[in-house]
Amino acid sequence: MLWVALAVPFLAHADITGNPRVIDGDTIEIAGERVRLHGIDAPEKAQTCETKKGKPWECGTAATRALLALVARQSLTCKGDSRDKYGRLIAICYVGRADINEQMVLQGWALAYRKYGKDYVRAEYAAKDLSEGIWKGEFVPPWDWRRGKRLSDSRAKSEPAAQCCKKCRKGKACGNSCISRRYTCRKPPGCACNAQ
């Protein structure tokens, strides 16, 4: 029993080298070992984003293809010493000296996963400033997308006028109705809107 207790910490530490199979934008597999790229979070395979003009596009698939292009036919070395709840090795992976995790963020195909580290925050700012990858349009961060948030949810909150049930031309909006401008509204915001 003591041997098992002593061996468990060593099972997480690994330097894996080999040709990867890309699973998605932040997960690969080398020689049967699943590796989750440390410090980044890429759009999920089924995730869609929108262009600045509101046209949906498959950014999760694009992130997977971007990682595939970065590692295509090249040997990777992944260095990590912990595992996630799915048993995947959490690692930083390299092609030569190039940090693949950082490259995914710099190219705009992944976000810095601040919950687990701040290693790639500067790379994220650079990608955002240059409108690279998913920064070319609108997207939901992958961690929110996995919890069910979608672009339509955030747009509904930021565009209440589109859901206006009553336009107040003479008075002002108060809850779901209109009142005189002289009165103070004591109702929570509703679907009534002020005419412009």
Q: Report CA dihedral (82, 39, 46, 87) to the nearest 10 degrees.
A: 0
- Which amino acid appears at position 42 of this protein? A
What pLDDT shows up at residue 170? 85
Q: Which of 44, 46, 26 is nearest to 36 (CA)?
A: 26
What digits encode the pLDDT tens for the residues 16-28?
Answer: 999 999 999 999 9
Domain with CATH 2.40.50.90 in the chain: 12-154
pLDDT at 8 over 50: no
Global pTM value: 0.73
What pLDDT shows up at residue 84? 95
As separate numbers, helices (DSSP H) first and strands (DSSP E) second, the chain gives 6, 15
CATH no. of 12-154: 2.40.50.90
Return contacts of 162-171, CB within 8 angstroms, 24+ apart. Answer: 163/191, 164/191, 164/192, 164/193, 165/190, 165/191, 165/192, 166/191, 166/192, 166/193, 167/192, 167/193, 167/194, 167/195, 168/192, 168/193, 168/194, 168/195, 169/195
Q: What percent of the chain has pLDDT over 90?
A: 67
